[in-house]
């Protein structure tokens, strides 16, 4: 395989950090220094961490110099990546043979760490000189002007642009929101920062892609905004970009179908700043994402607000989740309590690393949680090949039919047919894991643990795994 490396210059005005100096190269070539961006983390105590990114193929060598302390101890997470490294007084060096999303942590510090995103090389990149492409150069852009240019003929022959291209640089959306029309690609190039939010509403066939990012930190006028909203839409894809500190969800999906999210990264620090939340939507594929959020990383719901109905066929795979607050994986809180509730079904979580779960409120514990409220039924959920590292505060899983009086006018209906296969957890397991039905009619039924391991030990009973069952939990089984 050919060794390839693409690095991106940071635009003027980008906010950087000076905790680390990071250089990369293909073997035998010159070192190239990366710009180290500031990313904010952890709502409980907002702090600044570091982030770098580049694109690669083949083999790339990485050299990290720690600028403010000596290296007594270093770790590269997720631990499952098993990346060998060397370290000396103030340097950590390693090689990558595949795209990766990593946290480099020095002397046990998980908050002033370095996030490194090695993306795959992009394919079929829009070209700025293509007559179908509208290039938006660094400037303040009124979103109504962008929409007008994208939706009216601007080229010879009466053709319209098919791609809105944010070139490298800073882009300020004066109206804060860009509403994307159908059959459009929004391309945010590497080295581009868009200060604002993107909306897909009542549209189809939209791509949002690139290597740049949306920046919503430190702007009070964005207080009610999400990074990307997908509402009443179909066939929408998001690939390769990043959001930094959205006030609410990084990606918010309502009443939509056939959504594909791939190689997406996000950081957040504010209340209700979940990663990817979905209401009343189906046929959702989330693949190869990294979410470090100050509320649920992933949440699947039924009815909420203007979005009414069931949710099904939901897949999350090959991803890394870091919940500085609340759950990594959450299902079930909201539904149609005015009618007969909703069904959330056919959910797969596969090949996932959970790096953190920290929640001081007992009612919101659970790195993996199903809390069926609002008359909801949650069924046919599989957790397959999930690796949970030691976390600060919470519990491994929480399966409950609940009446959460903060959010639910009524209790949920039931939880059934849940499978945990090849789940491993290395940590204290001090807080009991819960499997609770609400009452005789609103039960949890059919929970299967296949090769559940806690600190390397095969768990074959509730007592062995510190798992509490109430009288309304039925059909809980363990096997190798």
Cβ-based burial of 124 (10 A; exposed 0-12, middle 13-18, buried ≥19):
exposed
Q: What is the dihedral of CA 290, 189, 113, 423, to 10 degrees?
A: 10
What span, in angstroms and rounded, lies between the C-alpha atoms of 245 and 47?
A: 12
What span, in angstroms and rounded, lies between the C-alpha atoms of 257 and 19?
A: 42
Q: What is the CATH number of the domain that holds 52?
A: 2.60.350.10
Report yes or no: 448 and 415 within 8 Å, Cβ to Cβ: no
Report yes or no: 92 and 74 within 8 Å, Cβ to Cβ: yes
Can you give the pLDDT at residue 143?
A: 59
Please tell me whether residues 218 and 104 are part of one structural domain: no
What span, in angstroms and rounded, lies between the C-alpha atoms of 18 and 331?
A: 39
Can you give the pLDDT at residue 154?
A: 41
Can you give the pLDDT at residue 219?
A: 58
Paired with 102 in beta bridges are 116
Q: What is the CATH number of the domain that holds 422?
A: 2.160.20.10
Report yes or no: 216 and 270 within 8 Å, Cβ to Cβ: no
Can you give the pLDDT at residue 138?
A: 79
Please tell me whether residues 139 and 84 are part of one structural domain: no
Please tell me whether residues 183 and 204 are part of one structural domain: yes
Please tell me whether residues 81 and 142 are part of one structural domain: no
Residue 71 located in a structural domain: yes
Residue 62 belongs to what domain range? 4-120
Please tell me whether residues 175 and 104 are part of one structural domain: no
Domain boundary among 120, 155, 181: 120
Residue 126 located in a structural domain: no
| 116-119 contact pairs (CB < 8 A, 24+) | 116/22, 116/51, 116/52, 116/53, 116/62, 117/51, 117/52, 117/53, 117/54, 117/242, 117/265, 117/290, 118/53, 118/54, 118/55, 118/56, 118/60, 119/53, 119/54, 119/55, 119/56, 119/211, 119/240, 119/263
What span, in angstroms and rounded, lies between the C-alpha atoms of 168 and 165?
A: 9
Give, for all 480 residues of the chain, the pLDDT tens digit: 799 999 999 999 999 999 999 999 999 999 999 999 999 999 999 999 999 999 999 999 999 999 999 999 999 999 999 999 999 999 999 999 999 999 999 999 999 999 999 999 999 999 998 888 888 877 766 655 565 544 443 434 445 579 999 999 999 887 788 999 999 999 999 999 999 899 999 999 999 999 999 998 875 555 557 899 999 999 999 999 999 999 999 999 999 999 999 999 999 999 889 999 999 999 999 999 999 999 999 999 999 999 999 999 999 999 999 999 999 999 999 999 999 999 999 999 999 999 999 999 999 999 999 999 999 999 999 999 999 999 999 999 999 999 999 999 999 999 999 999 999 999 999 999 999 999 999 999 999 999 999 999 999 999 999 999 999 999 999 999
Residue 125 located in a structural domain: no
Q: Residues with Cβ < 8 Å from 49, sequence gap 6 or more?
A: 17, 38, 39, 40, 41, 111, 112, 113, 114, 115, 267
Please tell me whether residues 108 and 239 are part of one structural domain: no
Please tell me whether residues 188 and 98 are part of one structural domain: no
Report yes or no: 200 and 224 within 8 Å, Cβ to Cβ: no
Residue 459 located in a structural domain: yes
Residue 181 located in a structural domain: yes
Domain boundary among 120, 141, 165: 120
Paired with 420 in beta bridges are 383, 449
How far CA 290 is from CA of 189, 265, 276, 293, in Å, comes to 19, 5, 11, 10
What span, in angstroms and rounded, lies between the C-alpha atoms of 468 and 448?
A: 15
Please tell me whether residues 110 and 190 are part of one structural domain: no
Can you give the pLDDT at residue 155?
A: 39
Domain count, the chain: 2
Q: In which element (H, E) is residue 150 found?
A: helix 143-151
Cβ-based burial of 99 (10 A; exposed 0-12, middle 13-18, buried ≥19):
middle
Residue 430 located in a structural domain: yes
Please tell me whether residues 92 and 193 are part of one structural domain: no
How far CA 457 is from CA of 57, 391, 426, 437, 480, in Å, comes to 38, 18, 10, 27, 11
Domain boundary among 92, 120, 148: 120
> From start to end of 307-376, where are the E strands?
311-323, 329-331, 343-357, 368-372
Q: In which element (H, E) is residue 341 found?
A: none
Q: In which element (H, E) is residue 168 found?
A: none
Structure tokens at 138: 């660094």
């Amino acid at each position: 395989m050919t060794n390839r490396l693409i690095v991106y210059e940071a635009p003027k005005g980008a906010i950087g950090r000076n905790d680390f100096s990071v250089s990369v190269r293909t073997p035998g070539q010159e070192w190239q220094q990366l710009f180290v961006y500031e990313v904010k983390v952890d709502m409980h105590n907002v702090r600044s961490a570091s982030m770098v990114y580049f694109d690669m193929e083949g083999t790339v060598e990485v050299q990290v110099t720690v600028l403010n302390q000596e290296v007594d101890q270093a770790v590269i997470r997720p631990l499952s990546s098993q990346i060998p490294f060397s370290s000396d007084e103030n340097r950590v060096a390693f090689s990558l043979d595949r795209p990766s999303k990593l946290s480099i942590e020095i002397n046990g510090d998980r908050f002033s760490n370095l996030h490194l995103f090695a993306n795959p090389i992009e394919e079929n990149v829009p070209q700025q000189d293509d007559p179908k492409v509208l290039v938006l150069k660094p400037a303040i852009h009124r979103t109504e002007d962008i929409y007008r240019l994208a939706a009216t003929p601007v080229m010879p022959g009466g053709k319209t642009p098919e791609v809105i291209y944010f070139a490298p640089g800073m882009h300020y959306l004066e109206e804060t929101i860009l509403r994307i029309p159908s059959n459009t690609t929004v391309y945010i190039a590497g080295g581009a920062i868009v200060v604002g939010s993107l909306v897909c509403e009542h549209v189809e066939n939209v791509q949002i892609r690139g290597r740049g990012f949306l920046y919503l930190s430190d702007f009070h006028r964005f207080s009610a905004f999400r990074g990307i909203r997908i509402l009443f839409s179909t066939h929408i894809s998001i690939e390769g970009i990043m959001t930094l500190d959205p006030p609410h969800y990084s990606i918010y999906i309502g009443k939509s179908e056939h959504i594909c999210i791939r190689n997406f990264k996000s950081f957040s620090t504010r209340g209700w700043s979940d990663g990817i939340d979905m209401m009343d939507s189906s046929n959702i594929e989330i693949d190869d994402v990294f979410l470090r959020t100050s509320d649920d990383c992933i949440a699947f719901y039924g009815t909420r607000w203007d979005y009414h109905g069931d949710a099904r066929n939901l897949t999350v795979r090959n991803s890394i989740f870091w919940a500085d607050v609340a759950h990594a994986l959450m299902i079930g809180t909201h539904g149609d309590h005015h009618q007969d509730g909703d069904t959330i079904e056919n959910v797969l979580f596969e090949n996932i690393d959970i790096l953190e779960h920290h929640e001081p409120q007992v009612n919101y514990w659970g790195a993996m949680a199903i809390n069926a409220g609002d008359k909801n039924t949650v069924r046919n959920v599989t957790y397959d090949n999930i690796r949970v590292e030691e976390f600060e505060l919470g519990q491994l899983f929480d399966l409950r039919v609940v009446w959460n009086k903060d959010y639910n006018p009524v209790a949920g209906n039931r939880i059934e047919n849940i499978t945990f296969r090849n789940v491993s957890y290395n940590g204290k397991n001090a807080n009991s894991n819960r499997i609770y039905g609400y009452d005789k009619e609103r039960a949890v039924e059919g929970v299967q643990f296949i090769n559940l391991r806690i600190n390397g030990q095969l768990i074959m009973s509730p007592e062995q795994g510190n798992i509490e069952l109430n009288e309304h939990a039925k059909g809980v089984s363990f096997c190798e």
